[in-house]
């Protein structure tokens, strides 16, 4: 089994061709549309869901079987025909044109695989078993969807704005300093709609040496060797 390289693709405005018109092909449409892909379905038949996507202007449907040349101008393709010989032909054309292909239930024909997704805007977690077990990937997705650690995604907007401010000030902040400043208190401000206040607090703690509970020497801020964190951990262990 190959070792896949995890990557997020920018599909905005790019052509994606899906071969097959069944429920699996239909299930690919939503995520591709959310990514801004231009979708073409090629299949002699289609589910009601695909036909609705067509009427809504979300996809183009070519009502026929695969033909050589169908992948002209495509960025990625998905083979979901349930006909192994056809999927192999699609794979060979993709390979000759350098087009990424996901062949459903045929890992040897895949140059990319679609992970299970856990999303809490704007954060996305991708889960893959490398093709070993889609059922396991789904189980992990369902479990992680309820994980309380996803709450940290609610700080994404504040952290993005803070990065902009830091860049504008032409400052370099140690990555460990960022980690120390991402606190429950900061999250609570953001979740209560006080993002401006959260941003003010974050910038102050990132850029000054007077912040309570943080390292006083910004240049030596080191999460692994932070004396403040060690003292806190020791106190919690004793209690």
Looking at residue 230, its pLDDT comes to 56
Percent of the chain with pLDDT over 90: 71
pLDDT digits 0-9 by tens, 155-176:
999 999 999 999 999 998 888 8
Please state which of the ranges 23-32, 55-64, 69-78, 175-184 shows the lowest mean pLDDT.
175-184
Residues 89, 164 within the same domain: no
The pLDDT of 211-230, averaged and rounded, is 57
Among 63, 85, 114, identify where a domain stops: 114
Are 101 and 87 in contact, with CB atoms under 8 Å apart?
no
Residues 27, 98 within the same domain: yes
d(CA 177, CA 222): 7
Which H or E element spans position 24?
helix 23-34
The pLDDT of 178-189, averaged and rounded, is 93
Residues 227, 174 within the same domain: yes
More confidently predicted of 216 and 191? 191
Domain assignment present for residue 122? The answer is no
Q: Which band of pLDDT confidence, cut at 50, 70 and 90, is reported for residue 227?
A: low
d(CA 79, CA 59): 16
Among 90, 114, 138, identify where a domain stops: 114
For the chain, give the mean pLDDT: 89
Q: How far is CA 87 from CA 23, 26, 159, 223, in A?
A: 17, 17, 44, 50
Looking at residue 236, its pLDDT comes to 59
pLDDT digits 0-9 by tens, 88-100:
999 999 999 999 9
pLDDT digits 0-9 by tens, 110-134:
999 888 899 999 999 999 888 788 8
Domain assignment present for residue 132? The answer is no
Domain assignment present for residue 146? The answer is no
pLDDT digits 0-9 by tens, 32-59:
999 999 999 999 999 999 999 999 999 9
Domain assignment present for residue 119? The answer is no
Residues 20, 85 within the same domain: yes
Q: How many domains does the chain have?
A: 2
Are 202 and 158 in contact, with CB atoms under 8 Å apart?
yes
Residues 106, 164 within the same domain: no
| pLDDT higher than 60, residue 77 | yes
Domain that holds residue 215: 151-238
Residues 108, 21 within the same domain: yes
Residues 164, 105 within the same domain: no
Domain assignment present for residue 106? The answer is yes
Domain assignment present for residue 1? The answer is no
Are 209 and 217 in contact, with CB atoms under 8 Å apart?
yes
Residues 187, 98 within the same domain: no
3-state secondary structure 8-54: CCCCCCCEEEEECCCHHHHHHHHHHHHCCCEEEEECCCCCHHHHHHH
Residues 109, 42 within the same domain: yes
Residues 110, 21 within the same domain: yes
- Give pTM, 2 decimals: 0.76
Residues 107, 170 within the same domain: no
Residues 90, 165 within the same domain: no
For residue 81, the domain's CATH number is 3.40.50.720
Domain assignment present for residue 134? The answer is no
Domain assignment present for residue 135? The answer is no
The two structure tokens encoding residue 208: 């000054």
């Amino acid at each position: 089994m190959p070792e896949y390289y995890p990557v997020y693709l920018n599909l905005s405005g790019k052509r994606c061709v899906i071969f097959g018109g069944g429920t699996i092909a239909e299930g690919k449409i939503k995520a591709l549309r959310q990514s801004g892909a231009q979708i073409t379905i090629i299949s002699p038949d289609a589910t009601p869901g695909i036909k609705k996507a067509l009427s809504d202007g979300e996809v183009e449907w070519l009502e026929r079987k695969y033909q050589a040349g169908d992948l002209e101008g495509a960025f990625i393709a998905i083979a979901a025909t349930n006909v192994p010989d056809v999927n192999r032909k699609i794979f060979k054309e993709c390979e000759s044109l350098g087009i990424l292909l996901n062949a459903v239930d045929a890992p040897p024909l895949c140059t990319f695989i679609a992970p299970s997704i856990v999303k809490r805007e704007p954060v996305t977690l991708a889960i893959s078993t490398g093709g070993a077990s889609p059922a396991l990937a789904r189980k992990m997705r369902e479990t992680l969807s309820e994980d309380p650690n996803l709450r940290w995604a609610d700080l994404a907007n504040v952290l993005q704005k803070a990065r902009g401010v830091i860049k504008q000030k032409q400052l370099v902040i140690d990555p460990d300093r960022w980690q120390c400043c991402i606190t429950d208190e900061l999250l609570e401000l953001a979740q209560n709609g006080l993002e401006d206040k959260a941003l003010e607090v974050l910038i102050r703690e990132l850029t000054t040496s007077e912040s309570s509970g943080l390292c006083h020497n910004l240049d030596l801020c080191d999460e692994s060797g932070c004396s403040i964190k060690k003292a806190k951990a020791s106190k919690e262990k004793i209690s």
